[in-house]
Structure 1
Amino acid sequence: MNAITTTAEATGGIDRDSTAPMYDQLRQLILDGIVRDGLQPGDALPGEHRLCEQYGISRTVVRQALAQLEHEGAVERIKGKGTFVARPRTSESLVHTLVGLFDEVERRGGHVHSEVLRHELIEADAEVAAALEVDEGAPVVVLTRLRYVDGEAWSLSTTWMPREIGEPTLGADLRDSSLYALLADHGVVATHGVRSAEATVATHEQAAQLGLSAGSALLRLRSVSRDESGQPIEFFVAYHRGDRSRFEFRLSTDNSQGSLVHVP
């Protein structure tokens, strides 16, 4: 007997005389069932058709409940496979600090491993040149990494650095070490910058690399970091899995440190 059935029997199922919406009642029944039976991340939950039959409710109600649970991060729905107890999302502070993923995860006791997909000297295109404040076609070092957190694909990032800053990293083993730490060893330290975050969806290539379905939610970080003199030292674009990351912001009444940008 599954967790949802057990919970329904214990509670009497959906109360049609209640002022609470049926989808919210079902949402709570599913949560209670997960806790009651000690279900773990990755455990399967009943499908939509079974929930409809079990509670005598419409598929619309079931889908509303599951959508809310997915939005809350309690379940994850995989097309063609079903609904599962979600893995907990990890809080990250990468948006409002200058730390990198390696240092952020290490600080909370986790481990980051990187698969280096590209690390070479190239000519800057227009976007990279503008971000690094160099001439278009100027030599820059590009570093693309598929990042794993505790063995699970987590993000796909590409970093560009001016030649004089990035050249010492060429040949370095960055699979299990911090790029920022390596730069610091060469006297390059970021002191300020601008970092933005926006929602996007995975392309077929990104989905294959991150173990997702094409069109899955991603969070794109875009950052330019500068040293004490104001010189840009790196520009990066990183795509984080939306089902594994939750970014947290520290807020205060002083709003001078942030801005809302409208993108037409």
Structure 2
Amino acid sequence: MSPTTFPAVPALDRNASAPLWTQFRDALRGSILRGELAVGEKLPTEAEFGEQFGISRIVVREALGDLVRTGLIYKIKGQGAFVSARERDEDFVSTVLGFSDEMERKGLSVRTQVLSQELRAPTEAEARALELGPQDQVVALRRLRSVDNELRLLVQTAVPADLAPGLHRIRLENRSLYDVLRRQYGLRISRAERWIDAVIPDVSTRELLELDAHEPLLRIESIAYGVNGRPLEHYQAQHRCRSSRLHVKTTT
């Protein structure tokens, strides 16, 4: 691709509430994350971007500055701006969206391999998190998840069986669990508590995620609650962050 061209994107909407610089930033960010702009590729100049999109150089500069701050592009003095390795911010830890929903909202391809799916008694940790009694059962899932063909997550999930009868028989390969819970069982997550720490993976996890021998992972534990306040999902995920970052947004 020539440095004076840019993948076709919808025209910026001058009547939208979003500022032009954020619209332009999101268009460029989307092209980078979708792989339409290669790692190391030189971007058009501020003037060239301005001419193509009909915006001022100040607007372009503000958008590029934000992409530099988030690590998607870098600048070399006297040479211009270039595409960085595609490190992606992942927001699912700070929202009630599921992993699949959040990745697909960003235009990324998610694949899910179900390693096991069974109806069983909960572990002590699952029973405690889901507030279950000794006679209760859970639908337990162990899944391996990829983003744009890069192995990213190994997830162990438990859902109270009485809330989702028959879930252990539903095909979940390459499907969003949260979408299935919404559509088939009317279960909607209203809030979640999550804890994050660093772990050294065991041999089995390293093999499944195709890790280097000494690559650490982030472990995410989550308890999700329905609109009535009852816990409806517990998961523990081991997350590979070599080409992504977890993004958490806080409010007052």
TM-score of the aligned structures, taking structure 1 as reference length? 0.61
Task: Give the aligned residue type for 1:150.
Answer: D
Quote the Cα distance in structure 1 between the aligned partners of 2:194 and 2:238. Answer: 13
Instruction: Provide the rounded CA distance (Å) in 2 between the counterparts of 1:226 and 1:104.
Output: 18
User: After superposition, what is the alpha-carbon deviation per residue over 1:47-86, rounded to whole angstroms, capped at 9, x for unaligned?
Assistant: xxxxxxxxxxxxxxxxxxxxxxxxx899xxxxxxxxxxx8
Check conservation: 2:114, 2:172, Cα contact below 8 A: yes
Match of 2:137 in 1: 139
Counterpart amino acid of 1:107?
Answer: R
Shift of 1:218: 0.7
Is the 1:73–1:243 contact (alpha carbons within 8 Å) kept by the matching residues of 2? Answer: no
Q: TM-score, normalised by structure 2?
A: 0.64
Q: Map 1:17-36; keep pairs closer than 5 Å.
A: none
Matched, 1:150 2:148: yes
Hey, what does 1:125 align to over in structure 2?
123
Give 5+ residue unaligned stretches, structure 2: 1-37, 41-70, 74-83
State how far apart, in whole Å, the 1-side matches of 2:171 and 2:115 are: 12
Q: 1:237 Cα deviation (Å)? A: 0.4
Contact persistence 1:128–1:235 (CA under 8 A): yes
Contact persistence 1:156–1:240 (CA under 8 A): yes
Structure-2 residue corresponding to 1:98? 96
Whether the 8 Å contact between 2:113 and 2:174 is mirrored in structure 1 is no
Cα distance change on mapping 1:109 and 1:73 into 2, 3 Å: closer
Label 1:124 to 1:89 Cα distance change in 2 as closer, same or farther (>3 A).
same
Aligned residue identity for 2:123? D
Partner secondary structure for residue 165 of structure 2: helix
Partner of 2:180: 182
Specify the SS of the correspondent of 1:191: strand
- Does structure 2 retain, via aligned residues, the 8 Å contact 1:194–1:225? yes
Separation in structure 2 between the aligned mates of residue 89 and residue 165 of structure 1, nearest angstrom: 37
- Contact 1:198–1:219 (CA under 8 A) maintained in structure 2: yes
Which structure has the higher relative contact order (CA within 8 Å, separation 6+)? 2
* Post-superposition CA distance 1:184-217 (Å, at most 9, x none): 0111111112112112222211111001023312
Q: Is the contact made by 2:152 and 2:241 (CA closer than 8 Å) also made in structure 1?
A: no
- Whether the aligned pair in 1 keeps the contact of 2:198 and 2:216 (CA below 8 Å) is yes
Match of 1:218 in 2: 217
The aligned residue for residue 260 of structure 1 is none
Which residue is 1:198 aligned to?
A: 197
- What is the CA-CA distance between 1:177 and the residue it aligns to? 1.5
1:125, 1:136 within 8 Å by CA — same for their partners in 2? no
Aligned residue pairs: how many? Answer: 176
Q: Percent of aligned pairs with the same residue? A: 30
Q: Residues 215-254 of structure 1: matches in 2 within 5 Å? A: 215-252=214-251, 254=252
Deviation at 1:87, TM superposition (A): 4.2
Match of 1:165 in 2: 163
> Are the structure 2 counterparts of residues 187 and 93 from structure 1 closer, same or farther at C-alpha, using a change threshold of 3 Å?
same
Indicate the SS of the match to 2:220. strand
Bigger Rg over Cα: 1
Structure 1 segments of 4+ aligned residues over 4 angstroms from their partners: none
Query: Is the Cα contact below 8 Å between 1:201 and 1:214 reproduced in 2?
Result: no
CA RMSD between the two structures: 2.4
